[in-house]
Amino acid sequence: MSTTLGTDERRGELRGTGGAGASTPQNLMIFVLSMALFGLSNIILEVVPDVSIGPVEFSVSYFVFIPLTLAALVSPFWVALGAPLGEIVFTDLLMGDFSGLAEVEGFIQMFLAIFVAGSIIRNPRSRGQIFLGALLIVGIDKFLSAVVDLAKVWIGVEDAEFVEGLPQSILFLESLGFGVDVIISGILFGAIPALWLIPELYGRLEPLLGLQPREPGKPFPGEAPKAFWFVAVAVLAGLGSFVFAFLEAVDLSFGVFEPDFLDAYGDVFLWVGAGAAVVVLAIAVILFAVWRKRRAGRGDLR
Amino acid sequence: MKLARKQRDVLSVEWVKLELIRTAYATRGGLISRMDPRVVIGWYVLFAMAPWFTHNLTTLACLFALASVFVVISRVGPLVLGLFVIGLGFELVYLVLAATLFGGDFTTFVALTEVTVKLGVVSLVSLAAFVSLDPEKLSDALLALHFPPAVAFAVSYGYRMMPILVEEFSTVMEGYQLREAPPIKGGVLGWRHLAHWAKIVVKAFYPIFLNTAKSVRTTVEALEARGFTFATIDPRGREIRLGSLRVTGLDIAVVAATVVAITGCYAIGAAWPLHRT
């Protein structure tokens, strides 16, 4: 397929690419490109009506193949930063669909999913790796949000009267939704288009950005560094996305399963929401500080 | 094909595009578009936090009405407003379904509506705030709040490029539709049409990838020629860019009026409390 290289051999150094944290023009290009394309795909999906049977939605959540293609061909780190931002800027801000803190939760989940999946793909021409990458993006993103959803119900039910069969039905619905998402978003609109698109674009897209195509066996810009701090940030980010969800959970779960809690507990519970907001803010600040440190100390990443 | 044509007649793509351009370039006038962008973001945070501290339905209804008033005076366009109303409608349908599924009755439904109203207030406020801010102002505000310069640039680029990208995509889509014959038979529920449409959408992304990569490179190189990276390093660049931001009496008046109005909502809620039973 590729026009530039016939074999998997290494040839020459990668040129013109900065590290994971550098704000070089090339990284800015990758960032903006992934933002624009993922945002565009989300606008197109806005037009498509969702089919939902009961509470299970049979819809395309997002076009996974777009961030996957970019992450496989260029830098996973900048694509992972750009793609969720594109969704927020293009659809959420512009369409007025901005849901505040829940957006941050979605951003972190999507960032982790794309970053990990993009780092898994070492060889953009390997079909197995592309397939795995597509499944990983949907898997990580949807698994995290499903866990958060389950936790919301669990928290709500723990303090309230136990509702017969509720945990089972929620677990069933969540796993059903997860399965539907993996099949529709992960395989139909993830792996299958990516299997066609990635080899097709390999060696054609990179020169337009002034990059050399990624070659197997070579380190590439923005891959996951196997360092301790990366694991720490990932865990913190996962925790962060969890706490963001709790702000909703405090309201939603108690609202649903304990209608008269206000009489029982007074206004104290309202301040649980405020407390959660403070925790959320603290974690956001920590994450931001880590990110900046990472930008500053890019020398020791490689 | 019939399916696609029907959709197009109801909501012409051309109209959607024009409406998006109008939204992106904003300034239908309106109160909030005359305000300082930093103050608008502060105002948004203030208003968006307000509904989360109460479970009082009277207060929430008042806040919803107040947010609607702001949407009207900031002159939000019909497309975004329509999408919001449709979204809210679907949310309500889902709530009814969820309530019946969990064996709930009307109380459960009301309980779930509370969350919808809260989210509705937040959405209305973000409509009013972000539709009124044009891309330059919004990215200036983000820069002033110490967001990374790349994010500020991304916002203004996204707003500007979106109508162009959508137009380009629809042109490519039409090209593919002309070149490829649609399926003769629809199959069950017209799944062949759906599959055909999905295939074309995916295929259309191939040229879009390459075109966008080219235009992005041009843009970034033009930016670099004008010293974008240097401007982010040198604090003077930031000062020049943010020098035009001024907080005026209008800003203070609007924020003060909003605070008074929100307090009023809480007072009304306290006077005539309406909780779920």
Exposed, middle or buried by CB within 10 Å (0-12, 13-18, 19+), for B78?
A: exposed
Is B6 a member of any domain?
Answer: no
Residue pair B247/B39 in contact by the 8 Å Cβ criterion: yes
Q: Are residues B162 and B123 in the same domain?
A: no
User: Could you tell me the sign of the dihedral formed by the alpha carbons of B80, B88, B271, A271, in that order?
Assistant: negative
Closest CA to B125 of B59, B193, B183, B74: B74
Element (DSSP H or E) covering residue A193: helix A192-201
Q: Does any domain span residue B1?
A: no
CB contact under 8 A, B162 and A50: no
Average per-residue pLDDT for chain A: 70
Regarding whether B101 and B195 lie in a shared domain, the answer is no
User: Based on the domain organization, do B110 and B220 belong to the same domain?
Assistant: no
Average pLDDT, chain B: 78
Q: Are residues B52 and B156 in the same domain?
A: no
Same domain? For B125 and B254 the reply is yes
Looking at the fold, whether B240 and B253 belong to one and the same domain comes out as no
Is A266 near chain B, with CB under 8 Å? no
Contact B136, B37 (CB under 8 A): no
Task: Summarize the confidence of residues A243-269 as an average pLDDT.
Answer: 46
Instruction: Quote the minimal CA–CA distance from B17 to chain A in Å.
Output: 11
Q: Which residues constitute the domain of residue B40?
A: 14-133+249-271
Claim to verify: residue B122 and residue B39 sit in the same structural domain: yes
Q: How far is A253 from chain B (nearest CA, A)?
A: 10
pTM of the model: 0.73
Tell me if B277 is assigned to some domain: no
Looking at the domain assignment, is residue B2 inside a domain? no
CB contact under 8 A, B108 and A256: yes
Dihedral of CA atoms B5, B11, B16, B18 in degrees, nearest 10, equals 100
Contact A33 B213 (CB under 8 A): yes
B113 and B153 housed in the same domain? no
Report chain B residues whose CB lies below 8 A from the CB of A100: 48, 122, 126
The residue type of B127 is: L
Same-domain check for residues B30 and B82: yes
pLDDT tens profile A167-204: 666 677 778 888 888 888 889 888 999 999 999 999 88
pLDDT value for A161: 44
Among A90, A97, A204, beta carbon nearest to B87: A97
Between A and B, how many CB-CB pairs are < 8 A? 186
Residues B196-253: tens digit of each pLDDT: 888 888 899 999 999 999 999 998 888 888 877 777 777 787 888 788 888 888 889 9
Sign of CA dihedral A21, A27, A32, A34: negative
Query: Could you tell me which residues come within 8 angstroms of residue A72 by beta carbon, excluding any fewer than 6 positions away?
Result: A118, A121, A124, A129, A130, A133, A194, A198, A214
Asked if the structure places residue B4 within a domain, the reply is no
Q: Is residue B226 part of a domain?
A: yes
The whole-number pLDDT of residue A265 equals 43
Q: Does B63 touch chain A (CB under 8 A)?
A: no
Tens digits of residue pLDDT in A70-85: 998 888 888 988 999 8
B122 and B220 assigned to the same domain: no
| CA–CA min distance B236, chain A (Å) | 19
ipTM over 0.90: no
Please choose, from the candidates B177, B151, B90, B230, the residue with its C-alpha nearest in 3D space to the C-alpha of residue A93. B151
pLDDT of residue A134: 92
B37 falls within a domain: yes
3-class secondary structure, A52: strand
Higher pLDDT, B46 or A245: B46
* Residue B77 shares a structural domain with residue B105: yes
Counting the structural domains of chain B, the total is: 2
Per the model's pLDDT, the better-predicted residue between A138 and B139 turns out to be A138
Cβ-contact B152, B139 below 8 angstroms: yes
Report yes or no on B233 lying in a domain.
yes
B23 and B119 together in one domain = yes
